[in-house]
Amino acid sequence: MSHRLFVAIKPPPDVIDMLIDTMEGVDNVRWQGEDQLHLTLRFIGEVDTPQANDIADALGSVRAGKFDLAIRGAGHFEKKGRPHTLWAGVAPSRALIQLQQSVESACRSAGIAPETRVFAPHVTLARLSGRAGDIAPFLAQHGALRSEPFTVERFFLVESTLSAKGAHYDPVVAYGLS
């Protein structure tokens, strides 16, 4: 059996509510649902069950302390000069980078190829198609988006199931931070 996996941090309910409140003002985009809002530490992709178990075990060896994180700003990613994702950024955090590096090491120890993309911490708000409306007003309104700091107490191994309605995310294992 195949599993599509990633490792993520889930913001607390008040931050999720704040992010949902920003989700308007751009036509023809697919806004993320409440259950889809997360900060990806490592996208793993498709693996078979034995490797998924190895990954889950390896992530259990990650040791990191709790730390504070805050939403800071909004922006977009482009592909071939066209916007494809609207996101909320996070304030710089040494502890977040260290956690991400530990997660990356654990994934490599479980046989996952090294990540080649630079870690760009963000929470995806919307996916854009070629028919998406102008994003400039959204970015102007939410460019200074800020949340109060929140404490990250755990991270998750998450399974993603794709469908015509978008992705559905199921946390498989939660890993506590000390």
| pLDDT for 40 | 98
| pLDDT for 165 | 79
Residues of the chain where predicted confidence (pLDDT) is lower than 50 = none
| pLDDT for 164 | 83
| pLDDT for 72 | 98
Q: CATH 3.20.20.140: does it fit domain 2-176?
A: no
| pLDDT for 155 | 98
Task: Determine which one of 38, 76, 84, 168 is catalytic.
Answer: 38
Task: Determine which one of 3, 76, 122, 142 is catalytic.
Answer: 122
- Has 38 been annotated as catalytic? yes
Residue 103 and residue 93 in contact, taking contact as beta carbons nearer than 8 Å: no
| pLDDT for 150 | 98
| pLDDT for 163 | 87
CA dihedral 64, 6, 30, 72 (to 10 degrees): 20
How far, in Å, CA of 53 to CA of 47, rounded? 10
